[in-house]
């Protein structure tokens, strides 16, 4: 007969291994600043199988919880079985078209038509989003080849920045209602699949337009193919041209397809035939400055066809977590292998930090974070904590 203490231990073990699902709020500290995010963990998630991670970034004045409740991505995550994350930007003091404001805003500067007010600290949102990925990989069974990011308005501009600075960890990116602003060229860490969507009634935040009520759908090809048009400040061409140059794509698109009563789109293909990324430009009829409720489903259909496979060495290493064994994990100063082994410890960008041949490895000096321990063919995640 089991004693009460044994029964209690069994109950505590079972309770401690129940995975919370649904809406979760978390806070993390980045650069000394507390940051907020919301997660949707689908009820189908058990931790036994790796799942995709999908970001949805809010627009100016919004926050992560509002996007959780209103965008439709939480419901889609529940249906499709992936984990969705809705981060909140900081409330910043900015100057926007000469107006002084205090409002939530993603820091996608310098590629922006606004600036921070003098004395305001411009916190690094790329670091914040990367930290979310690190924590998600630690706490959940994330398929690191299938991490995606979507954003609306100011979040769409931030998504464009992420397509350059986080293209080493993101499989594909969608921007909606805003993208690159400056007529400039960036060098991405990787040439990433990119989708941009905008409505023919979208004149920007506030949706204040000129005298005509909407852009005729038939003018889409002209708008994206003709520089320096006064029509909507030439933004359609500028965005198309920026994406084409940033990701080494053909300047000539493949042709306009779709239904002008709903939406039309075109595709720009890579110059190098060995590349697999593309740029999809979508123009939606009767859509103002908003994120439509049908968009998550359509965007997910496009996003999920892409992975990081064959591009990121880290992704290949993380796929093979089985044979290599070490402890403790998390670790502080040292890890021990079950036998002598040729080992390499890498950061999340694939940079080699420590190499050796032994039954232990000293990790003194490594900052808190997530690393990869590899024996050359397989690897495992290592969490370093000096707390």
- Residue 272, CA atoms < 13 Å, CB-side half-sphere: 7
- How large is the average pLDDT for residues 23-40? 97
Buried b (16+ CB within 10 A) or exposed e, 363-380: beebeeebbbbbbeebbb
| Alpha-carbon separation of residue 282 from 60, 197, 266, 365 (angstroms) | 22, 5, 7, 48
Say if residue 104's pLDDT is above 50: yes
Number of H helices, E strands in the chain: 9, 18
What is the C-alpha separation between 356 and 360, in angstroms, rounded?
9
- Whether the ω angle into residue 84 lies within 30 degrees of 0, i.e. cis, is no
Q: What is the pLDDT of residue 15?
A: 40
Q: What is the pLDDT of residue 273?
A: 80
What is residue 19's DSSP assignment? Answer: P
Return the CATH superfamily for domain 19-311.
Alpha/Beta hydrolase fold, catalytic domain (3.40.50.1820)
Q: What is the pLDDT of residue 42?
A: 98
Q: What is the pLDDT of residue 374?
A: 84
- Residue 72, CA atoms < 13 Å, CB-side half-sphere: 14
- Residue-wise pLDDT for 235-245, tens only, equals 999 999 999 99
Q: What is the pLDDT of residue 254?
A: 92
- Whether the ω angle into residue 209 lies within 30 degrees of 0, i.e. cis, is no
- Domain limits, the chain: 19-311, 316-384
Fold of 316-384: Immunoglobulin-like (2.60.40)
- How large is the average pLDDT for residues 27-49? 96
Q: What is the pLDDT of residue 208?
A: 56
Q: Tell me what percent of the residues of the chain surpass a pLDDT of 90.
A: 67
Could you check whether 19-311 and 316-384 share the same CATH topology? Answer: no
Which token pair is 31? 């650069």
* Cβ atoms < 10 Å from Cβ of 285: 18
Say if residue 315's pLDDT is above 50: no
Q: What is the pLDDT of residue 29?
A: 96
Give start and end residues of each alpha helix (H) in the chain.
4-16, 64-70, 73-80, 125-139, 154-165, 220-225, 235-246, 295-303, 313-319
Q: What is the pLDDT of residue 371?
A: 86
Q: What is the pLDDT of residue 348?
A: 76
Which token pair is 65? 């919880």
Q: What is the overall mean pLDDT for the chain?
A: 88
Question: In the structure, what pLDDT confidence band is assigned to residue 90 with cuts at 50, 70 and 90?
Answer: very high
Nearest to 240 by CA among 224, 220, 223: 224
- How large is the average pLDDT for residues 335-359? 83
Nearest to 372 by CA among 346, 349, 334, 350: 346
Say if residue 217's pLDDT is above 60: yes
Q: What is the pLDDT of residue 349?
A: 75
Question: In the structure, what pLDDT confidence band is assigned to residue 284 with cuts at 50, 70 and 90?
Answer: very high
Euclidean distance between the first and the last CA atom of the chain, given in angstroms as a whole number: 42
Q: Which residue has the higher pLDDT, 240 or 377?
A: 240
- How large is the average pLDDT for residues 318-336? 69
- How large is the average pLDDT for residues 65-72? 98
Q: Tell me what percent of the residues of the chain surpass a pLDDT of 70.
A: 88
Highest mean pLDDT range out of 18-22, 230-234, 280-284, 306-310? 280-284
């Amino acid at each position: 007969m089991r004693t009460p203490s044994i029964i209690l231990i069994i109950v505590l073990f079972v309770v401690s291994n129940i995975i919370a699902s649904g809406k979760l709020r978390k806070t993390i500290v980045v650069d000394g600043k507390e940051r907020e995010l919301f997660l949707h963990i689908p009820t189908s998630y058990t931790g036994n199988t790796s799942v995709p991670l999908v970001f949805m970034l809010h627009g100016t004045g919004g926050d992560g919880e509002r996007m959780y409740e209103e965008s439709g991505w939480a419901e889609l995550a529940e249906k499709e079985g992936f984990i969705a994350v809705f981060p909140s930007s900081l409330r910043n003091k900015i100057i926007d078209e000469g107006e002084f404001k205090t409002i939530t805003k993603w820091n996608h500067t310098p590629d922006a038509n606004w600036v921070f007010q003098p004395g305001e600290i411009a916190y690094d949102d790329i670091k914040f989003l990367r930290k979310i990925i690190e924590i998600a990989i630690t706490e959940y069974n994330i398929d690191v080849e299938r991490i995606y990011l979507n954003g609306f308005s100011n979040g769409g501009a931030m998504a464009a920045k992420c397509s350059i600075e986080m293209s080493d960890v993101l499989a594909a990116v969608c921007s909606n209602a805003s993208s690159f602003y400056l007529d400039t060229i960036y060098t991405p860490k990787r040439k990433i699949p990119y989708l941009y969507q905008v409505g023919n009634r979208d004149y920007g935040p506030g949706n204040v337009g000129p005298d005509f009520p909407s852009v005729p759908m038939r003018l889409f090809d002209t708008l994206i193919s003709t520089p320096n048009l006064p029509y909507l400040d030439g933004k359609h061409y500028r965005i198309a041209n920026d994406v084409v140059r940033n990701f080494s794509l053909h300047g000539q698109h493949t042709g306009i397809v779709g239904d002008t009563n709903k939406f039309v789109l075109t595709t720009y293909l890579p110059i190098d035939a060995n590349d697999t990324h593309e740029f999809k430009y979508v123009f939606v009829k009767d859509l103002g400055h908003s994120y439509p409720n049908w968009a998550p489903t359509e965007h997910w259909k496009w996003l999920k066809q892409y992975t990081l496979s064959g591009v990121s060495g880290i992704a290949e290493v993380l796929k093979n977590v089985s044979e290599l064994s070490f402890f403790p994990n998390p670790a502080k100063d040292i890890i021990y292998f079950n036998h002598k082994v040729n080992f390499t410890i890498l950061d999340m960008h694939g940079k080699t930090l420590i190499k050796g041949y032994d039954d232990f490895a000293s990790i003194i000096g490594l900052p808190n974070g997530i690393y990869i321990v590899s024996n050359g063919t397989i690897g495992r995640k290592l969490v370093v904590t000096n707390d």
